[in-house]
């Protein structure tokens, strides 16, 4: 589904601030893969996501999505086939627009409507939004005419998740999307994520700093350090792996401790 071939990215090349954020990184995802990514601060996790999403173009290498070379495709065009959630719940929704308008925007942007600038949301689709919102189990279906700015962070993040997946994307990028939420809400959004990704069979990449989630969610776990993937475990090898195992594997792989000041080792 996703193919990264030898991608590299250096920020501020030739200056004292030079930072090799991605170094000759290759990654292949199969369709339906749910991959979790952990790593130290500055390991290149977010840079990897930005490279995939097209926030910047990579210095070398190529990016392919579902067989199509998207290395030089601009960000807004990649977004048609990619859903993205950020750590900041404020980033994914328009606060002064209503829940319904936000959903309309997410729905109308899909490929089918791409050329129809003047298309509008029908009553039938509105009913579909209501149904989809009710699945979130947050009572949002009765607040469709309210501006999103009135919602809590967790509600906004759940709404963003719905907007990103309502029309299943080819790839879903989750960048610590529960990190800014309180534990109970984070758990709720996480289980919604698991549910939706499983139901729609979405190929998904998730950055997390919760080591337990990294192992319990999805079918494959990557560890990054210094702009490279240093550990890639899946299948039987991953079954039964504990957080301690993961940490010692990291140590063995890189010769140093995993030093992420936000890392969570507990459940």
What is the binding site for another protein (CB under 8 A)? 53, 55, 74-80, 84, 86, 88, 90-97, 101-102, 104-106, 108-109, 113, 116-121, 147, 163
171 half-sphere exposure, CB direction, 13 A CA radius: 23
Give the DSSP letter of residue 67: T
Cβ–Cβ < 8 Å for 176, 209:
yes
Minimum Å gap between C-beta 55 and another protein is 8
Distance of alpha carbon 93 from alpha carbon 128, whole angstroms: 19
Minimum Å gap between C-beta 80 and another protein is 4
Minimum Å gap between C-beta 124 and another protein is 16
Minimum Å gap between C-beta 87 and another protein is 12
Tokens read off for 222:
């990557």
Q: Which is nearer to another protein, 46 or 104 (CB)?
A: 104
Q: Which is nearer to another protein, 90 or 234 (CB)?
A: 90
Distance of alpha carbon 197 from alpha carbon 191, whole angstroms: 10
Cβ–Cβ < 8 Å for 82, 172:
yes
Minimum Å gap between C-beta 42 and another protein is 22
What SS3 class is residue 9?
strand
Q: Which is nearer to another protein, 1 or 97 (CB)?
A: 97
Question: Could you tell me if residue 62 is left (phi over 0), alpha (psi between -120 and 50 degrees) or otherwise beta?
Answer: beta
Q: Which is nearer to another protein, 114 or 242 (CB)?
A: 114
Task: Determine how β-strand 19-29 pairs with β-strand 203-207.
Answer: unpaired
Q: Which is nearer to another protein, 39 or 83 (CB)?
A: 83
């Amino acid at each position: 589904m996703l193919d990264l071939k030898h991608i590299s990215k250096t920020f501020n090349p030739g200056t004292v601030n030079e930072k090799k954020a991605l170094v000759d990184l290759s990654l292949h995802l199969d369709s339906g893969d749910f991959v979790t990514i952990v790593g130290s601060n500055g390991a290149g996790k977010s840079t990897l996501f930005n490279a995939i999403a097209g926030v910047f173009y990579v210095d070398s290498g190529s990016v392919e999505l579902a067989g199509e070379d998207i290395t030089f495709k601009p960000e807004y065009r990649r977004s048609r086939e990619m859903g993205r959630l950020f750590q900041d719940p404020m980033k994914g929704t328009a606060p002064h627009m209503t829940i319904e308008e936000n959903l309309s925007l997410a729905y109308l942007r899909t490929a089918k409507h791409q050329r129809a600038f003047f298309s509008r949301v029908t009553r039938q689709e509105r009913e579909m939004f209501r149904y989809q919102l009710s699945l979130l189990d947050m009572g949002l279906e009765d607040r469709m005419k309210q501006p999103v700015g009135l919602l809590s962070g967790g509600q906004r993040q759940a709404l963003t998740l719905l907007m990103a997946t309502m029309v299943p994307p080819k790839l879903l990028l989750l960048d610590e999307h529960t990190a800014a939420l309180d534990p109970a809400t984070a758990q709720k959004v996480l289980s919604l994520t698991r549910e939706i990704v499983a139901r729609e069979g979405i190929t998904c990449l998730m950055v997390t700093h919760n080591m337990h989630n990294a192992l319990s969610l999805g079918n494959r776990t990557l560890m990054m350090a210094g702009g490279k993937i240093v550990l890639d475990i899946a299948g039987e090898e991953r079954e039964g792996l504990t957080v301690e195992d993961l940490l010692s594997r990291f140590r063995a792989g890189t010769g140093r401790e995993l030093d992420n000041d936000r890392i969570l080792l507990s459940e």
